[in-house]
Amino acid sequence: MSFDFVYVAFSTDDGHWWSRFLHPTIKHCYVIQPSKGDWLVFGKTTKGFQMYTTDDVTDAIENDIIVKVTIRDHRPRLFMLNTCVGAVKQIVGINKPFIWTPYQLYRYLEKQCKS
């Protein structure tokens, strides 16, 4: 069973020195995908990649903002920022080079969902 959509979750993350330069409530993003009755959660953190499955999606999200996104066909990018935003853009298939912050990604996805 293959799904052509994922959920992108946006959350706050105050544990880093650069957090003060980001939006007050949207500082981190990660992907949640349905997978054979479970949920696959994938995110990029400062310590590496975080990937796990859960049977209850509420375990993965707390007070996060969730956006449903259709996955697009895309070519792998030669250059990608090694951040949570870069990882989400690679999974979803967004080829916009000037989306750097989670808030910019949120605004872009919200605009795409409305049209």
Q: What is the pLDDT of residues 31-44, one digit of tens each?
A: 999 888 889 999 88
DSSP state of 20: G
pLDDT in tens, 22-79: 878 888 899 999 888 889 999 888 888 889 898 888 877 777 889 999 888 877 666 7
* pLDDT exceeds 50 at position 1: no
Q: How far apart are CA 63 and CA 70, in angstroms?
A: 22
Locate the domains of the chain by residue range: 5-107
With H, G, I as helix, E, B as strand and everything else as coil, classify residue 40: strand
